């Protein structure tokens, strides 16, 4: 009895295991014999895209630049004399004409110097006249003195003859000889005076030249007391006021020439070669500036002679096509440059461009990637419909190009052209 009970305790767990095993087999059987529903084929999605046909035409590339107004004649006028400021008739921003007085300096001291120099010149002119008169007088006197010398010499000869005949005293002979000697000395002195005339006249003329130079310098200083506009221009700053004492070289007023305005704008390196070639061949590169809601025509006159360190291009120098156009110095202005026209080129919306060198052609309802080269842009004045100018040997007239930007664009993607 005990043995049977022991066996029953050892194998009593078999029943649950057998039940669990049978249940598992039944579940597996039911799953395996479950009917499979038929699979439905999902149709491939078609992406709706806008398209545009390829057309070859002549296109004008354009680039937008930011220019700065400059002027080669931006002058700072300074004082040429030491004087007090007496009047300042101009202000910042005023328009002036060539020759207008901008600053008046007190000229009283200068005028005194001018009068002194004029007196020096007048005195030397009088001395020159006196020297010439003296020369003429000495020439006449020399003739008279030479005649007197001849008479004196004859008198000495007579006295010598008489003395030899014992008819006169020695004293009379000595007196005649003394008179001859004095007359000879006077003649020699007169000749010396006449010989020195050229040197004395040269000295006087040299002194006159020096005095005239000093007078010219004083007159120039008098002119410098009036600071005048060297050209038609615009005042940009006035740094002095009445009553101030200015020194030589001190800046007084600055202005720029309103007829020589230029715009400097940096042209990217990739366009420099094309522009340089066009300018060298005599082509005119035109541009437009946008300022205060107005558009004005510009002409690219030349390229700068230097490239600033660290810049990505070279400065183009534009001039207004209109002679009466007034710009404000240092003003920043947007410029649209029309580059030389390109023949047999293709233009596409910017939305058709993927990356920088790829578009998609639609072939039998699917996209096909095409590599292209971007030559430039045609710019919309409103900035909403800019177009890229491209070229590719793989494109033909009439090819259909997808112009809708798809985030998952890839060759073979199924698309449908929008009506």
Examine the pLDDT at 2 and tell me if it is beyond 70: no
Examine the pLDDT at 147 and tell me if it is beyond 60: yes
Question: What mean pLDDT value characterizes the chain?
Answer: 85
Position 26 scores a pLDDT of 73
Examine the pLDDT at 141 and tell me if it is beyond 70: yes
Helix pair angle (108-164, 170-224), 10° resolution: 170
Q: How confident is the model at residue 13 (pLDDT cuts 50, 70, 90)?
A: low
Work out the percent of the chain whose per-residue pLDDT is above 90.
Answer: 43
What whole-number distance in Å separates Cα of residue 117 and Cα of residue 110? 11
Position 293 scores a pLDDT of 75
Please say whether the beta carbons of 329 and 376 come within 8 A.
Answer: no
Position 32 scores a pLDDT of 67
pLDDT digit string, tens, across residues 353-383 = 998 889 999 998 899 999 998 888 888 766 6
pLDDT digit string, tens, across residues 18-36 = 777 777 777 776 676 666 6
Please give the residue that has the higher pLDDT: either 286 or 135. 286
pLDDT digit string, tens, across residues 279-324 = 999 989 999 987 777 788 999 999 988 887 777 789 999 999 887 6
pLDDT digit string, tens, across residues 188-224 = 887 888 888 888 889 999 999 999 999 999 999 999 9
Q: How confident is the model at residue 106 (pLDDT cuts 50, 70, 90)?
A: very high
Read off the pLDDT of each residue in 246-267 and give the average, rounded to a whole number.
Answer: 93
Read off the pLDDT of each residue in 73-88 and give the average, rounded to a whole number.
Answer: 94
User: Which residues have C-beta within 8 Å of that of residue 229, sequence separation ≥ 6?
Assistant: 96, 97, 98, 99, 100, 102, 255
Q: How confident is the model at residue 174 (pLDDT cuts 50, 70, 90)?
A: low
Domains within the chain, CATH numbers bracketed: 49-60+341-417 (2.40.420), 63-71+261-338 (2.40.30.170), 75-105+226-256 (2.40.50.100), 108-224 (1.10.287.620)
Q: How confident is the model at residue 7 (pLDDT cuts 50, 70, 90)?
A: very low
Find residue 96's DSSP bridge partners: 233
Helix H, strand E, coil C: the string for the chain is: CHHHHHHHHHCCCHHHHHHHHHHHHHHHHHHHCCCCCCCCCCCCCCEEECEEECCCEEECCEEEEEEEEECCCEEEEECCCCEEEEECCCCCCCEECCCCEEEEECCHHHHHHHHHHHHHHHHHHHHHHHHHHHHHHHHHHHHHHHHHHHHHHHHHHHHHHHHHCCCCCHHHHHHHHHHHHHHHHHHHHHHHHHHHHHHHHHHHHHHHHHHHHHHHHHHHHHHHCEEECCCCEEEEEECCCCCCEECCCCEEEEEEECCCCEEEEEEEHHHHHHHHHHHHCCCCCEEEEEECCEEEEEEEEEECCCCCCCCCEEEEEEEECCCCCCCCCCCEEEEEEECCCEEEEEEEEHHHCECCCEEEEEECCEEEEEECEEEEEECCCCCCCCEEEEECCCCCCCCEEECCCCCCCCCCCEEEECC
Evaluate if pTM is beyond 0.85. no
Least confident of 42-51, 70-79, 167-176, 384-393: 167-176
Please say whether the beta carbons of 370 and 409 come within 8 A.
Answer: no
Position 290 scores a pLDDT of 79
Position 37 scores a pLDDT of 62
Work out the percent of the chain whose per-residue pLDDT is above 70.
Answer: 87
């Amino acid at each position: 009895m005990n043995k049977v009970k022991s066996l029953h305790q050892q194998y009593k767990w078999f029943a649950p295991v057998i039940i669990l095993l049978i249940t598992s087999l039944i579940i597996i059987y039911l799953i395996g014999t479950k009917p499979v529903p038929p699979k439905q084929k999902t149709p491939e999605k078609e992406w709706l895209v806008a398209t545009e046909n390829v057309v070859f035409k002549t296109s004008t590339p354009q680039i937008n630049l930011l220019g700065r107004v400059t002027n080669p004649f931006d002058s700072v006028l300074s004082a040429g004399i030491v004087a007090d400021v007496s009047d300042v008739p101009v202000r910042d921003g005023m328009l002036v004409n060539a020759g207008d007085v901008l600053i008046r300096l007190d000229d009283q001291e200068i005028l005194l110097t001018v009068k002194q120099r004029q007196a020096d010149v007048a005195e030397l002119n009088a001395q020159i006249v006196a020297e010439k008169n003296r020369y003429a007088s000495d020439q006449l006197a020399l003739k008279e003195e030479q005649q007197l010398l001849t008479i004196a010499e004859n008198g000495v000869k007579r006295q010598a003859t008489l003395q030899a005949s014992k008819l006169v005293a020695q004293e009379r002979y000595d007196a005649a000889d003394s008179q001859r000697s004095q007359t000879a000395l006077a003649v020699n002195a007169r000749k010396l005076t006449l010989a020195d005339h050229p040197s004395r006249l040269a000295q006087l003329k040299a002194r006159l030249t020096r005095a005239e130079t000093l007078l010219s310098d004083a007159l120039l200083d008098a002119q410098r007391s009036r600071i005048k506009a060297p050209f038609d221009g615009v005042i940009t700053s006035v740094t002095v006021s009445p009553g101030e004492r200015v020194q030589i070289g001190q800046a007084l007023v600055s202005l720029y020439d309103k007829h020589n305005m230029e715009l400097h704008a940096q042209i990217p390196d990739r366009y420099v070669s094309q522009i340089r070639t066009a300018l060298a061949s005599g082509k005119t590169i035109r541009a437009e500036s946008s300022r205060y809601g107005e558009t004005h025509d510009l002409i690219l006159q030349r390229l700068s002679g230097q490239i600033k360190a660290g810049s990505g291009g070279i400065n183009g120098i534009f001039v207004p096509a209109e002679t009466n156009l007034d710009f404000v110095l240092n003003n920043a202005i947007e410029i649209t440059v029309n580059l030389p026209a390109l023949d047999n080129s293709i233009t596409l919306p910017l939305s058709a461009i993927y990356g920088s060198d790829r578009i998609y052609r639609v072939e039998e309802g699917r996209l096909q990637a095409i590599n292209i080269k971007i030559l430039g842009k045609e710019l919309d004045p409103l900035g909403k419909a800019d177009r890229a100018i491209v070229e590719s040997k793989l494109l033909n007239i009439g090819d259909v190009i997808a112009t809708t930007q798809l985030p998952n664009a890839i060759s073979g993607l199924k698309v449908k052209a929008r009506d």
